[in-house]
Amino acid sequence: MQHTICNTVSEIDIGLHTGQRIRICLQPADIGCGVLFQRTDLSNASPIPALYNHVIDTKLSTVLGEKGRLENRISTIEHLMAALYGCGIDNILILIDGPEIPIFDGSSSFFVSLLEHTGRKQQNAPRKIIKVLEPVCIKQGDFFVKLLPNPHSGLSLSLSINFAARAVGQQTYHIDLTSDTFKKELSFNRTFTFLEDIETLRQMGLAQGGSLENAIVIDDNRILNSHGLRTPDEFVRHKMLDVLGDLYLAGSPLEACFYGHCSGHTLNNQLLQKLFSCSTAWQKICTTDKHPPS
């Protein structure tokens, strides 16, 4: 069945790129609403559905926007979207009073805590699933992302990354997604950045809210965060968290196998664009809920 949250919850934290203090408020939403974002600091801003075809930028984060009204944009949605996917939330209204989802610790942990705090409420309508029927692939040099039909139910993901920095190097990860594996294996992995890139980002007016409290900072073979990593392969797990958040812009959970090498928000979005441009590659089905009520 479809699910929303039990009650309204809100919290304040800074935006990674703007450095602004931003309030995020999660509210229950009706059957069939999906995930909807609404800016409260702009007059007459239209709500923006969390769908792949409302993405307006993918360079540093996934950004949703209202076409024709550039200031109505919401960036860095991916860690929240991953939490909504992992926690099995179908319908929710997200109000924010700034242009960016607050970063908290750079992972999905805080959003999972908020969702668990308010609780998950079952609604009287079956859940819709997008079943991938044919392979779909996007390549860019050696980098690729693809979706294949899953002989089993649900979503499984396999990802590899390869960075020159010795603290990262080559990492691979695989997960069969459930609410349990999401919480125990993916949700807590933080975003990361390289020391040499920080000054450039700051000069561009970006990463103004970035700190060791909300990102792993890498200097070749060194991790600058005093407590180190949460898991030795935290980098590839975070990239997979980003994939999951981006894939939830399909509008429904997927029944598919995802494979990727050095994926990013741009490739992830192009993958959904390509999937939905081919009507024989997917099918929307109703299914029974795979997440036990919490």
Q: Does 187 bind Zn ion (CB under 5 A)?
A: no
**Whose Cβ is closer to Zn ion: residue 90's or residue 242's?**
242
**Whose Cβ is closer to Zn ion: residue 188's or residue 282's?**
188
Q: Does 2 bind Zn ion (CB under 5 A)?
A: no
* Residue 243 CB neighbour total at 10 angstroms: 24
Sequential DSSP letters for 9-64: EEEEEE-TTT--EEEEEEEE--TT--EEEEESSSTTPPPEE--GGGEEE-SSS-EE
Distance in Å, CB of 109 to Zn ion, minimum: 13
Distance in Å, CB of 277 to Zn ion, minimum: 26
Cα–Cα dist 278/46, whole Å: 29
β pairing state of 222-223 and 216-219: antiparallel
Q: Does 75 bind Zn ion (CB under 5 A)?
A: no
Distance in Å, CB of 191 to Zn ion, minimum: 4
Q: Which of 3, 17, 238, 265 is catalytic?
A: 265
Cα–Cα dist 157/148, whole Å: 10
CB 4 within 8 A of CB 29: yes
Cα–Cα dist 121/110, whole Å: 19
Q: Does 191 bind Zn ion (CB under 5 A)?
A: yes
Binders of Zn ion among 227-266, rule CB under 5 A? 242
Q: Does 214 bind Zn ion (CB under 5 A)?
A: no
**Whose Cβ is closer to Zn ion: residue 28's or residue 106's?**
106
Which residues sit at the interface with Zn ion, rule CB under 5 A? 191, 242
Active-site residue list: 265
